[in-house]
């Protein structure tokens, strides 16, 4: 099974290509939606990587896909400038989910 990247900059795509991951570079909302639909149609793709910036353009569609499509897995990744999430996002997520403070 393969991974596929949907990115907003060529540097991220180049880095992923060095790791053997193919992908596309898009910028507009309709391009992101079209790229995601095309990636969902690829039967050999197990994981779709999408940069956080692009995921923010179509959050409702991504949420719909994550909840209703079992395969492939969609993972939001930071781009070369880093993440837009707060530093404690993972620990806060665990605390909110199961009530356990780490």
- Residue 36 — very low, low, confident or very high, per pLDDT cuts 50/70/90? very high
Task: Look at residue 79 in the predicted model and tell me its pLDDT.
Answer: 72
CA distances from 21 to 10, 37, 38, 95 (A): 13, 18, 16, 34
The DSSP line for 22-43 is: EEEE--SHHHHHHHHHHHHH-T
Q: Which domain holds residue 37?
A: 2-98
Domain with 39 in it: what CATH number? 3.40.50.10580
Total domains, the chain? 1
**Of the ranges 2-16, 67-81, 87-101, which one carries the lowest mean pLDDT score?**
87-101
């Amino acid at each position: 099974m393969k991974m596929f990247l949907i990115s907003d900059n060529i540097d991220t795509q180049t880095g992923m290509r060095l790791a053997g991951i193919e992908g596309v570079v898009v910028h507009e909302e309709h391009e992101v939606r079209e790229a995601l639909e095309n990636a969902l149609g690829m039967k050999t793709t197990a994981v779709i990587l999408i940069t956080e910036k692009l995921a923010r353009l179509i959050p409702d569609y991504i949420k719909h896909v994550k909840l209703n499509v079992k395969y492939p897995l969609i993972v939001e990744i930071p781009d070369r400038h880093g993440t837009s999430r707060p530093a404690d996002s993972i620990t806060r997520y665990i605390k909110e989910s199961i009530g356990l403070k780490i």
